[in-house]
Amino acid sequence: MSGPALEVRGLAKAFVLHVQGGVRLSVLDGVSLAVQAGECVVLADPSGAGKSTLLRSIYGNYLVRDGQVLIRHRERVVDMVGAPPRLMLDVRRHTLGYVSQFLRVIPRVPTEQVVAGTLRARGVEAGEALGRARAMLERLRIPERLWALSPVTFS
Amino acid sequence: MTIEHPSATVADRPLLSVRGLGKRYGAQIGCRDVGFDLWPGEVLGVVGESGSGKTTVLDCLSGRVAADGGQVTYTKADGSVVDLRRLDEAARRRLLRTEWGVVHQHAREGLRMNVSAGANVGERLMALGARHYGRVRGRALDWLARVEIGESRIDDLPETFSGGMQQRLQIARNLVTEPRLVLMDEPTGGLDVSVQARLLDLLRGLVEDLGLSAVIVTHDLAVARLLAHRLLVMRGGLVVESGLTDQVLDDPQHPYAQLLVSSVLQP
């Protein structure tokens, strides 16, 4: 199947802060972007330009009402804007990852189980998920002695 | 290029479907026009301040309180669909015993206080037909360990347990039969932080391994973030906002949802 893996068309995002007197902050307006499979795109702009807002809007972490976020998912194209939550969860589980500055995990859960958890959520059997998690941790050069510890202890 | 919004990719029917659910207590509104779908393997969080109607919704679902209006349909394990509000008492009780679990906010309401901890856990297994004493006791021990209750306490009465232990016992009693749907009212309320983390991990593991679905009422947004796929925010008996958990918490739209999120430290 051809076409970009991700295409953003005319994306706008504004925040209305009801708690602070209804101030309206327009952060994104008319943003368009296409990313092909195998391509790595860098968003480079000064702080406050809306880079994180764009990423969060694509992921559905921020609610978007204007524009389209088209993602190739399970052999078809899905518009994340206005998609039912269940479909968005399926896209996140199988197609779209998100690496944030902050890691939010259940306390006391070992690192290898945190990593395996995303596979288990996809229905991968526990033993296989753990094996693949360990292989990935090794690849990222996280020392094996830390795998059984909670990641909150990490740098 | 075709752009689709396929609403169903895995299961084609929600486990639980709620429409227009309402309950009044005299002139007081318990909840009004509450509606949502819960899909297999999905955890729905219901958040809001006390008096917002969260518990009323849960009580209407379990049948503990009779709703005034609305529809609650449930897809049973055998594939048949039942309207819970039209189910007779015997059939409703059978469903609660076999396919559902209900964890009450106050553990005493969900426990039998005059029988031992082991019997509390074993009882539901026996209600499902387990007869072998050794096996029932073994399963009970296993579940007590999973909620961090020591083996030496199996023959003690729940009365002798602390509040937090009673809550863990109630959860073990409900999950031992591996229900398809669990309704939980503030499941981690009143628990020590260390036990709360263990319980959150346990619940998440069950969701992943068993495809368990759950409706969890909580006032703790941090618990909601870690457990729930989707959130309903309630106020004054109404659902004022709903959506993906992280979206509702990180970009709330409704003024009340914004107030709720901005009022806590690090949800």
In Å, how far is B259's CA from the nearest CA of chain A? 6
Looking at residue B11, what is its pLDDT?
A: 61
Question: Is A57:A42 a contact under the CB 8 Å cutoff?
Answer: no
Looking at residue B9, what is its pLDDT?
A: 42
Chain A residues within an 8 Å CB radius of B259 = 18-19
Name the residue facing B5 among A79, A106, A120 (closest C-beta).
A79
Looking at residue B266, what is its pLDDT?
A: 61
Q: Is the pLDDT of residue B117 over 50?
A: yes
Looking at residue B212, what is its pLDDT?
A: 87
Which stretch of DSSP H or E encloses residue B21?
A: strand B16-25
Q: What is the overall mean pLDDT for chain A?
A: 93
Mean pLDDT of all residues in A98-126: 88
Looking at residue B6, what is its pLDDT?
A: 45
Residue B148: how many other CB atoms lie within 10 Å: 16
Contact call for A85 and B230, based on CB within 8 A: yes
Looking at residue B112, what is its pLDDT?
A: 95
Question: Is B44:B230 a contact under the CB 8 Å cutoff?
Answer: yes
Mean pLDDT of all residues in B84-108: 91
Percent of chain A with pLDDT over 70: 99
Chain B residues within an 8 Å CB radius of A86 = 7-9, 39, 42
Mean pLDDT of all residues in B239-248: 97
Q: What are phi and psi of B89, to 5 degrees?
A: -55, -45
Tens-digit pLDDT profile for residues A46-84: 888 899 999 999 999 999 999 999 999 999 999 999 999
Q: What is the overall mean pLDDT for chain B?
A: 89
Question: Is B240:B33 a contact under the CB 8 Å cutoff?
Answer: no
Question: Is B180:B128 a contact under the CB 8 Å cutoff?
Answer: no
Q: Name the band, by pLDDT with cuts 50, 70 and 90, for residue B195.
A: confident
In Å, how far is B236's CA from the nearest CA of chain A? 18
Looking at residue A1, what is its pLDDT?
A: 54
Looking at residue B3, what is its pLDDT?
A: 56
Contact call for A77 and B243, based on CB within 8 A: no
Separation of alpha carbons B101 and B181, rounded Å: 6
Mean pLDDT of all residues in B72-87: 94
Looking at residue A155, what is its pLDDT?
A: 83
Question: Is A54:A42 a contact under the CB 8 Å cutoff?
Answer: no
In Å, how far is A136's CA from the nearest CA of chain B? 21
Tens-digit pLDDT profile for residues A18-27: 999 999 999 9
In Å, how far is B239's CA from the nearest CA of chain A? 16
Separation of alpha carbons A57 and A51, rounded Å: 10
Q: Name the band, by pLDDT with cuts 50, 70 and 90, for residue B1.
A: very low
- The half-sphere exposure of B21 on its side-chain side, counting CA atoms within 13 A, is 32
Q: Is the pLDDT of residue B10 over 50?
A: no
Separation of alpha carbons A21 and A61, rounded Å: 24
Which of residues 78 through 97 in chain B touch A, CB cutoff 8 A? Answer: none
What is the ipTM score, two decimals?
Answer: 0.90
Give the residue ranges of DSSP H helices in B132-187: 133-146, 163-175
Tens-digit pLDDT profile for residues B150-172: 999 999 999 999 888 898 899 89
Tens-digit pLDDT profile for residues B196-226: 877 788 778 777 777 789 999 998 998 899 8
pTM, two decimal places? 0.90
Q: What are phi and psi of A12, to 5 degrees?
A: -125, 145
Percent of chain B with pLDDT over 70: 95
Whether B40 contacts chain A with CB within 8 A: no
Looking at residue B263, what is its pLDDT?
A: 87
Looking at residue B203, what is its pLDDT?
A: 79
Q: What sign results for the dihedral spanned by CA atoms B205, B207, B208, B210?
A: positive
